[in-house]
Amino acid sequence: MSIIYFLIGCSVIMALLFLFAFFWAQRSGQNDDLFTPSMRILLEDDHIPDPVADAAIKSLAEEKIQKAANK
């Protein structure tokens, strides 16, 4: 069963790799804004106008900003 130490080693290395990636993400501000990114992907040049959905996004955004401001 010695192979399990090798596999644990591999898994731990991968876990450490992911951990470093997580720290990097945290430090470089990847996770500072947990709201805009979800909106940004919807805004593109070829964005097909959809007044109802756009209004919904806008009001959602305003609501969140309001919440953040209240904090």
Partner 1 sequence: MQPEQFYYDNRIVRNFGIATVIWGIIGMTVGLIVAIQLYHPGANMHNQYTTFGRIRPLHTNAVIFAFVGNAIFMGVYYSLQRLLKARMFSDVLSNIHFWGWQLIIISAVITLPLGLTTSHEYAELEWPIDIAITIIWVVFGWNMFGTIFKRRERHLYVAIWFYIATFVTIAVLHIVNSIELPVSAFKSYMVYAGVQDALVQWWYGHNAVAFFLTTPYLGMMYYFLPKMANRPIYSYKLSILHFWALIFIYIWAGPHHLLYTTLPGWAQSLGVAFSIMLIAPSWGGMINGLLTLRGAWDKVRDDVILKFMVVGLTAYGMATFEGPMLSLKQVNGIAHFSDWIIAHVHVGALGWNGFLTFAILYWLIPRIYKTELFSKKLASFHFWAGTLGIIFYAVPMYWAGFTQSLMLKEFKPDGMLKYPNFLETTLQILPMHVMRSVGGAIYLLGVIVMAYNLFLTMKQGSLVANEAAQAMPLEPVQTVAKEASWHRTLERRPIQFMLLALVVILIGSFIELMPTLTISSNIPTIASVKPYTPLELQGRDIYIREGCSNCHSQTVRPFRSETERYGEYSKAGEFVYDHPFLWGSKRTGPDLAREGGKYGNAWHYNHLMDPRLMSPGSIMPEYFWLLNQKLDTTTTAAKIRAMRTLGVPYAAGYDKIANRDLDKQASLIAANLQTDHIKVMKDKEIIAIIAYLQRLGMDIKANKTANK
Could you list the residues that contact partner 1 (CB under 8 A)? 1-7, 9-11, 13-15, 17-18, 20-22, 24-25, 30-31, 33-35, 37-42, 44-46, 50, 53, 56-57, 60
| Nearer to partner 1 among residue 1 and residue 69 (C-beta) | 1
Q: Are 40 and 34 in contact (CB under 8 A)?
A: no
| Nearer to partner 1 among residue 47 and residue 70 (C-beta) | 47
Instruction: Give me the amino acid identity at 8.
Output: I
Least Å distance, CB 69 to partner 1, is 18
Q: Are 39 and 57 in contact (CB under 8 A)?
A: yes
d(CA 13, CA 20): 10
